[in-house]
Amino acid sequence: MAFESAAEFFAMGGHALYVWLAYGATWGVLAALVVVARVASRQTLTQLGAQHRRQSARQTGASQTAPQPAPDAAPQASSTQPRTATTQALAGDHS
Amino acid sequence: MTLTARLKRFWHQLGSPRWLYLNSASWLRFLGWGAAALLVCGSVWGLAIAPADYQQGNSYRIMFVHVPTALLSQSCFLLLATAGVVLLVWRMKMADVVAQAAVPVGMAITALALFSGAVWGRPTWGAWWVSDARTVSTLVLLFLYFALFALRQSIPRAEAAGRACAVLAIVGAINIPIIKYSVEWWNTMHQVSSLSVGKRPAMPASMYLPLLLNILAFYLFFAYLLLLRVRTGILRQESGARWVRELVT
């Protein structure tokens, strides 16, 4: 141990300001880098998950509406029917 | 399998985003905990156990974080230049993912090296900033990181942005030997290296051992952070791929 007491340790022989400023900034920036990277990682996973669930919902919705006779008849049909997965997914896209 | 064949296969595997993502989760844990443990040990050793310097007193303890960040700031730029060559020559898309992940980290580390240098300079040289070849060339390094970051943002097509950044990183790497040899080529206020490969250290073991430990800790930390960011980059780049879809849903 280079110091006799805790008070001496924190005083750093009169250089407390400089030593603790340098170490504090270094630890702070390293911690911030890790937090930012972990948040970005988690966000990417949830975003991609939501995006792919929307897409697969649209695909299953499209296969349900595929037997419809003509594409121009679809808006009429959907206005009379309850909201399907497709319309929900599309509404989700625009919101 | 011979060693070269093994290395060659590993190189090809690293180029595969899917392989790297699926295999690197355990490396991430190892690197993260390893870096944390070494950082704690190195900091306690450097701050509390290593003896005070007979001239500088306790302010020299800043060296234990200044030297690792300064070394890392240069290594990170060399990594960017290497990734640039790999991208331009072999068209390996992973190289650009790595470069993109490394730039903000290098920027922060370089800023830290300059900051801790300034904080050490105030009690030792009597000034927060002294312009000499070492400090100015390191400031240029920080500006090169800024330039890489800005260049990436300013080009909308990802592929063109990656190539432009690769060229800038390769050209900018000329600054690295200038930083390294600045203390020998010019009369600098900044002291020469106290620690170099193949030379006896200019300080006792009680001082250079914690420094070596901290250098290792910072490199492990960098590896951890880079891998974490590369994994996120892979998911973003491969967001349309089947394996990503199966992974996230």
ipTM: 0.91
Q: Does B123 touch chain A (CB under 8 A)?
A: yes
Quick check: B239 and A3 CB within 8 A?
Answer: no
Residue of B nearest to A43 (CA): B232
Share of chain A above pLDDT 90, in %: 37
Backbone angles phi, psi at B53, to 5 degrees: -75, 140
Q: Which of A26, A55, A60 to probe by mutation at the B interface, max B CB count within 10 Å?
A: A26
Least confident of A42-56, A79-93, B17-31: A79-93
Asked if residue A66 has pLDDT above 60, the reply is no
Q: Is B195 exposed, middle or buried (0-12, 13-18, 19+ CB in 10 A)?
A: middle
Q: What is the pLDDT of residue B213?
A: 96
- 3-class secondary-structure state, position B155: coil
Q: What is the pLDDT of residue B115?
A: 97
Asked if residue A89 has pLDDT above 60, the reply is no
Q: What is the pLDDT of residue B37?
A: 97
Nearest-angstrom CA–CA distance, B194 and A52: 54
Question: Which residues in chain B land under pLDDT 50?
Answer: none
| pLDDT, tens only, B173-198 | 999 999 998 988 888 888 888 777 77
3-state secondary structure string across B193-224: CCCCCCCCCCCCHHHHHHHHHHHHHHHHHHHH
Q: What is the pLDDT of residue A48?
A: 92
Structure tokens at A88: 């929900």
User: Higher confidence at residue B198 or residue A64?
Assistant: B198
Asked if residue A20 has pLDDT above 90, the reply is yes
Q: Å from A7 to nearest chain B CA?
A: 12
A30-50 average pLDDT score: 95
Q: What is the pLDDT of residue A65?
A: 58
Chain A residues with CB inside 8 Å of B236's CB?
A: 44
pTM for the structure as a whole: 0.86
Q: What is the pLDDT of residue A74?
A: 45
In single-letter form, the type of residue at position B209 comes to: L
Count of C-beta atoms within a 10 Å radius of residue B109: 30
The pLDDT-based confidence of A61 (bands split at 50, 70, 90) is: confident
In single-letter form, the type of residue at position B247 comes to: L
Q: What is the pLDDT of residue B195?
A: 78
Asked if residue A63 has pLDDT above 70, the reply is no
Q: What is the pLDDT of residue A95?
A: 34
